[in-house]
Amino acid sequence: MKILYFAWLRDTIGTGHEDVSPPAGTVATVGDLIAWLKDQSPAHAKALVDTDRLRFAVNQDYAKPDTPVKAGDEIAFFPPVTGG
């Protein structure tokens, strides 16, 4: 899976993208992925602690915690948007 981070999430985690391969059977949804990522480092845990402040997209469409994810997907985490 290709993971992308934007805005302050990228600053907190220290990278804008990473490729991850959770063990088979552990990650079926966005929610599973968040739980797994939080165990990868203290920075991940800090950035992803408050899901109310997070927005996520799977393959460039807005997603929810129960949205399915699979190998090869592009999954992005970012704060609420502030363009315009």
Partner 1 sequence: MAVRVQREDFDVGAEMAAFCAGDTSVGAVASFVGLVRADKTAEGSGAVSAMTLEHYPGMTERQLEAIEADARERWPLHDVLVVHRYGRMEPGERIVLVLTASSHRQAAFDACAFLMDWLKTKAPFWKLEETPNGGRWVDARESDDAAAARWGGDEG
Binding site for partner 1 (CB under 8 A): 4, 6-8, 11, 57, 60-62, 76, 78-84
CB 9 within 8 Å of CB 82: no
Nearer to partner 1, 26 or 62 (CB): 62
Integer Cα distance of 46 and 44 in angstroms: 5
Q: How far is the CB of 37 from partner 1 (least distance, A)?
A: 18
Nearer to partner 1, 26 or 60 (CB): 60
Q: How far is the CB of 26 from partner 1 (least distance, A)?
A: 26
Q: How many residues does the chain have?
A: 84
Integer Cα distance of 16 and 32 in angstroms: 20
